[in-house]
Structure 1
Amino acid sequence: MPRKTIKQKTIQEFIDSIQFKEVSNDDGDKEYEAVVENTTPYNFSDFSLDVQLLDSDNVTIASEYADTSHWDSGAKAKLSFSTDEVFSSIKLKESTIETE
């Protein structure tokens, strides 16, 4: 297995630090948001996460996406997703991340 570059490690640590919070609950759908400052040294032209919703047995019960574009280092962005699923935890995985 190839070793991760410093850039890959930095981006993965950044992804791991993102925390979503429930912000609304309308008609069975719940909206989750994370306001995140890009603390990496990279400008993202595209930043898309696969948000895996896990049950209490750590089984993926649904996947959603959260994304933004043109996100410069030091800038803040609001990432969000909505779901009607009941889940215990969230696992974030890189979907598409492109840097300038």
Structure 2
Amino acid sequence: MFKNFRLRQLLPKGSLSKVFDDVAVELTMALLQFFNSKPNEEHLFRCMKALSKFVQISAQEVPQLIQMIGPDPRSFKGTSERIDQLIEQIGAKLR
């Protein structure tokens, strides 16, 4: 019970998540590689949702990585309405 409390105390002040920037960057690289495999709608939604969270956590490094490595999330636009909403959230951080 106190393990999580102690872990939160180690996080930087103002940190909203337990995922640090470097972990977000590594997981973003894995997601971008996964996007090249043409995932189905359910997998694509879950990955876009994670990517949206990573963009919020690491607001500078993750968007740069997305632009450098690709594919551009907008290339999946039109797959479904819920994915389009996530793409809009990600796109707002990429600008």
TM-score by length of 2: 0.28
Q: Which has the higher strand share?
A: 1
